[in-house]
Chains A and B, each alone.
Chain A
């Protein structure tokens, strides 16, 4: 039995949905995209042409909800379904779109370039706790107009895992859909076995911007999964109460799903977000706050009442270093996310309000994720009797009796998660002899090991060449002579 954390009663969930539908009528949703407004209008929504505010009646939303796929998979490079969206499946991926990376030697937040992203991809590729890659950091060594496509390009070259990505303009989303098609062997194949999912963000309160709505429509028509990342900031850009913020989140998701399904009914879309409270002292958006995790747990319950696949942002910290605050915020929120049965939990590796990544933190967070996975695997019944069967004639009332039992050898790996060396369970003496290393120092060693053991996946040569040609053409259009040298980036030992 998968243990579940629930914060809302069925009654409250119903009230959230009722009030969200009321919000969609009054005040309505601001939709700053002509095509999205036309889709909504032709379905029967009332559009205010002056303000772009659309009033969406419940029956239009209900119809959209009927056509949404209840589950779908993301596939790895080899075509295996490795990420399940739907039900209570739980997966983790590194946070997306950081702009800096923690330098483990200087502890500065360095501006990210190609070698930083490669380092993160290589580390995440070898940690089984991450079922998907993300386009983790922006590469500032390429022009802004190709940064989205370039991040995906690197992930496709250096990983076989599914990819959680996103695009900041309508033009780039189409380029990225083309890139996925190149590796999949065409747009149909890409739709059949999607490799990537795209985050699409409404703006709080109740706004679907021009490019976000445009991306929803483009993704729906291409049949590539979209993931709504609604970000109510409770107390600033959303009601201060957790229930109020969850209700606004619900309305933003319902509006997005409606636009998406009107563009192409049956296309895959996920109920997701990066909800958080608004810090009233610093004006910050704390990802490590427990209320942030409570918002996410709550909206996941609303999604599940509608049988929607789910996503959230947890497992991150607001600390600037990989320190005790980082550990407790990341661990606690990852556990809440897993216990909420959320399908994709993004955010691992990230510091400083999702702006800074750390490969060392990815390694430590992987242990936290392993603990959450062990937790949701639950307490299992492995043997016919619970205990009496263990007490046979060889019991001598000594402490080591059970170590000698074959069943101990057979079952201990199922009962216990065996942590990596990032977790210290050594004797004091051994720990001192090993250099008295703290968690961060141990994580640095593991990162070094992972970088040394990494080898780039073998991809189909012709497809890889086609992908490269495509990316190079984009770069040249953006004014570059050549793409950053990946050979040099591979050799460059970032921070180590």
Chain B
């Protein structure tokens, strides 16, 4: 019985069917299934599958995003149940995301946010045009392990360095790890500004984040 339901859950994520995912999550509660099992044996299987498909060039961004949104919706239904049980889904880590000051391009960063939360990270997305003090302030407030910064313009990518220098000055690293991304961002740049890593796409960003929190 539950095996069949797990399959349907994974399938709802793969097809990006948010409403169906919510229904299945509710149904699992009615059936007294353990919410953690529902997540890890059901929905997460779908997220992993679509992530692999994307990496293999078989799935495309709309499918990835819809899967991520469906996952978030399903987890939102299950989280109150976990709390009732006095348990919590293992949070992979807490991440603050932002597009740096002077830059208003956030498609890539939003994608990363969706995939990170779908993969079990707690994501606070500050949005675009964010100065260093706001990014760092939020990271301290929520005790984040990771700050992720995007920049699309070469004129704004230097702001990534400013945030890192500020973190260093405050002695907040290596407590807080830094991921950088965006069209002009290369591995060389990430190394040069002493970031903890960069990735080419949202799936790569999830792998990197897992590595940074030691949960590969």
Contact = CB atoms under 8 A, between A and B. Distances in A.
Contacts of A203: 104
Contacts of B183: 284, 353, 355
Interface string B56-75: 01001110000000000000
Interface stretch (A3-11, A56-64, A229-237, A331-339): A229-237
A250 B207 CA distance: 40
Nearest to A209: B104
Interface in B132-157: 154-155
A242 interface: no
A492 B205 CA distance: 41
Given A209-B104, A237-B107, A353-B183, A281 B61 contact: yes
Contact of B57 (A233, A237, A281, A355): A281
A283 B155 contact: no
B201 interface: yes
A280 B184 contact: no
A138 B154 contact: yes
Interface of A (DSSP majority class): loop
Interface residues of A, number: 20
B107 A283 contact: yes
B111 interface: yes
A138 B107 contact: no
Interface in A128-152: 138, 144, 147
Residue among B104, B154, B201 with max Cβ neighbours from chain A (10 Å): B154
A470 interface: no
B155 A235 contact: no
B154 A283 contact: no
Contacts of B61: 236, 278, 280-281, 283
Given A236-B107, A283-B111, A283-B201, A138 B184 contact: no
Contacts of A138: 154-155
B108 interface: yes
A148 to B, nearest CB: 10
A236 B65 CA distance: 11
A99 B151 CA distance: 14
B104 A233 contact: no
Given A138-B154, A203-B104, A281 B184 contact: no
A353 B153 CA distance: 12
Contacts of A168: 155
Contact of B184 (A99, A209, A282): A99
A235 B104 contact: no
Contacts of B154: 99, 138
Contacts of B111: 283
Given A99-B154, A168-B155, 17 more contacts: A138-B155, A144-B158, A203-B104, A207-B104, A209-B104, A280-B60, A280-B61, A281-B57, A281-B60, A282-B201, A283-B61, A283-B108, A283-B201, A283-B202, A353-B183, A355-B183, A355-B184
Interface of B: 57, 60-62, 104, 107-108, 111, 154-155, 158, 183-184, 201-202
* Closest A-B pairs by Cβ, 4 of them: A280-B60, A99-B154, A280-B61, A236-B107
23 contacts: A99-B184, A144-B158, A147-B155, A168-B155, A203-B104, A233-B107, A235-B62, A236-B61, A237-B107, A278-B107, A280-B60, A280-B62, A281-B60, A281-B61, A283-B61, A283-B107, A283-B108, A283-B111, A283-B201, A283-B202, A284-B183, A353-B183, A355-B183
